[in-house]
Amino acid sequence: MTVKPLSLHPDRLFPAETDTRNIARRLYAEVAGLPIISPHGHTDPEWWATDAPFGNAAELLLHPDHYVFRMLYSQGVSLEALGIRNPEADPRESWRLFAERYHLFRGTPSRMWLDWVFAESFGLDVLLGAETSDLYYDTITEKLATHAFRPRALFERYNIEVIATTENPLDDLRHHKAIRDSGWGGKVITAYRPDPVVDPEFEGFLDNLKTLSDLTGEDCFNWNGYLAAHRKRRAFFASMGATSTDHGHPTARTADLSSAEAEALFKRVTQPSPSAEDAELFRAQMLTEMAGMSAEDGLVMQIHPGSFRNHNPVIFERFGRDKGADIPMRTEYVEALRPLLSRYGNRSDMTIIVFTLDETVYARELAPLAGHYPALKLGPAWWFHDSPEGMRRFRENMTETAGFYNTVGFNDDTRAFLSIPARHDVARRIDCGFLARLVAEHRIEEWEAAELAVDLSYNLAKAAYKL
């Protein structure tokens, strides 16, 4: 096999039909240069706190990207050989295993994101493959050592207006404090993700409550103390820039128990080994409690349900969480969200953003709900569906019932920092292509599409997340 060229086509992801493509080009020209609003993601605030250089190619692009190593694993490459939790692996050789199998990513969004990073960030002009593995490894690793590839320099080069990280209530937010104290102008904020102290089945739940008690001076084994501790930590997170909370539950179930019932339930789940039903009911009740606190403190609420975490016990035991073994599940919203929505759904001064991994609910459940309840908004296509076809299905299924203005723009939701501009670029291109089709089919006017393109790329996220 000979070395193949790499270049990013300016029309990539636009519909092929000539008139539609021309419209998409015009729309995209208006939004391509807009700053990035990244209101939900998992980058590490330490990067910007210390501004230390990133390591080598494998460490930056391979080890943290579960999209990449899950595909390699599915085709027989061991995680050890890729260097996952294995400091003895030679990163150059791990990279080679990836390079030799780059054809596996054909047709996947990872291929588009990575090619963008390679071409646009690192200036590479040949395709990754067995023959170019060392060239890639050396080029990337060398550039990462330069000042231009430090975290803050990339943040500025990528034109990021604001980025939110995600921390749990036990985090002291020292990195966010360091960023503020540094005088650097980049806007990096946190988000309140309380799963470790809300989910009775989370590893170390009772220990976490103990730590939360210590942190807040509240007795977190007492229902009212526990709620007070949440309020304190939410206020602290808000003081460090947080404008949102995030809740990653197995299901979308909510509950609205009486105070006495909630307190009794809390007592049961703070005993060792609570029942699965009690754990589920407690998570359900806590969504409604958190909505109530959002009604008080104004933090935007995000609900991210439906992932079967750590499906592969072999991988979980040896490599831990977040190793590409989380699998989406069917998720019900109509009955599940009703208790919460009956209580808070009619408030037009609140924002509750719901995500899903189950695309079958787009047109059937979520669009009808968000097209009615003032508090409810639709998060963008998420995780496995954060892809050209996935985003297209999102728009095709959501728009007719919910419209565009009950959606909240794009979230990259990633820990792969270098891919963030590529992800936003894919979203902008797909949205412009979708809008172009509506124009070409005379369903909206082009001037409306141009307004919408800016709204979807920038304004809606900024407004929904109060940024």
CB of 420 to its own copies, least distance (A): 19
Among 119, 178, 215, 444, binds its own copies (CB under 8 A): 444
Alpha-helical (H) ranges within 345-419 are: 361, 367-370, 388-402
Q: Which stretch binds its own copies (CB under 8 A): 16-24, 54-62, 138-146, 190-198?
A: 16-24
C-alpha distances in Å from residue 64, one per residue of 57, 235, 289, 361, 415: 11, 31, 33, 30, 7
Task: Provide the β-strand partners of residue 162.
Answer: 37
User: Which of 259, 287, 437, 440 has its CA nearest to residue 352?
Assistant: 287
64 binds its own copies (CB under 8 A): no
Distance between CA atoms of residues 134 and 174, nearest Å: 38
Nearer to its own copies, 75 or 273 (CB): 75
Nearer to its own copies, 4 or 157 (CB): 4
Interaction residues for its own copies, span 153-182 (CB under 8 A): none
E strand or H helix at 38: strand 36-38
22 binds its own copies (CB under 8 A): no
Would you tell me how many other CB atoms lie within 10 Å of the CB of residue 107? Answer: 11
14 binds its own copies (CB under 8 A): yes
Among 218, 280, 358, 425, binds its own copies (CB under 8 A): 358
84 binds its own copies (CB under 8 A): no
380-409 burial: b if 16+ Cβ within 10 Å, else e: bbbbebbbbebbbbbbebbbebbebebbbb
Among 188, 299, 325, 420, binds its own copies (CB under 8 A): 325
Q: Which stretch binds its own copies (CB under 8 A): 25-33, 41-49, 280-288, 333-341?
A: 333-341
CB of 281 to its own copies, least distance (A): 20
Distance between CA atoms of residues 51 and 60, nearest Å: 14
The pairing of beta strand 307-308 with beta strand 300-303: unpaired
397 binds its own copies (CB under 8 A): yes
C-alpha distances in Å from residue 391, one per residue of 99, 305, 356: 28, 18, 13
CB of 149 to its own copies, least distance (A): 27
Q: What is the DSSP letter of 37?
A: E
Would you tell me how many other CB atoms lie within 10 Å of the CB of residue 218? Answer: 20
CB of 136 to its own copies, least distance (A): 18
437 binds its own copies (CB under 8 A): yes
Among 70, 143, 415, 462, binds its own copies (CB under 8 A): 70
15 binds its own copies (CB under 8 A): yes
Interaction residues for its own copies, span 363-392 (CB under 8 A): 363-365, 367-374, 376, 384-385, 387-390
68 binds its own copies (CB under 8 A): no
Would you tell me how many other CB atoms lie within 10 Å of the CB of residue 418? Answer: 24
CB of 384 to its own copies, least distance (A): 5
295 binds its own copies (CB under 8 A): no
Residue 101-120 contact track with its own copies, rule CB under 8 A, x = bound: --xxxxxxx-xx--------
Nearer to its own copies, 258 or 348 (CB): 348
Helices (H) and strands (E) counted in the chain, each on its own, are 22, 9
